[in-house]
Amino acid sequence: MIYDKPIIIEKRDPQSGEFSEWLRLHARVNKTGGGEREASGARRSAASLTFELRYVSLLFDIFLNTQDYRIIYRNAVFVINDYDDYMEQHKTVRLEGECVGERQDNY
C-alpha cells in the first residue's frame, strides 16, 4: 500500500480553543461521500474522505476525542467523524473526515 498524500493533523488547545499543528503524516485518501449540506438557509458543498494511515501510537489520542482534532488536506479543513483501528491490530488507522468548505490558506 502506498501512503503518498501529505496531511496535517491539528489539535485544539484546551485553554485557547485554537488549533495548531500536531502531526504531519502521509495517508491513503479515498472518497467516503459528498454532496451538499444546508445550514442556516445556505447550501454548501461537502466532501467526506477516509484517511488511512500507518499506525502511530500518538494517533490513539484521537480515539474518543475526535472533537479535539482535525485534518488539513489540500488546504481544506476536515472535521474528524470517526476513528478506526481495525480489530485493534495497530497496523493502520482510518480517520473519516468531513469538509464543508472551510479552507486554510496558510499551508
CATH 2.40.10 holds for 5-99? yes
Q: Which tens digits make up the pLDDT trace of 35-46?
A: 555 555 555 668
Question: Which residues are within 8 A (CB) of 51 and not within 5 positions of it... i.e. 6 or more apart?
Answer: 5, 7, 27, 28, 29, 71, 73, 78, 94, 95, 96, 97
Q: Which tens digits make up the pLDDT trace of 27-69?
A: 999 998 655 555 555 556 688 999 999 999 999 999 999 999 9
Please give the backbone phi and psi of residue 86, each rounded to the nearest 5 degrees, phi first.
-50, 120
CA 55 to chain centre: 15
> pLDDT category, 1, cuts 50, 70, 90?
confident
Domain limits of the chain?
A: 5-99
Q: Is the pTM of this model over 0.75?
A: yes
Q: Which three cell numbers stand for residue 84?
A: 478506526
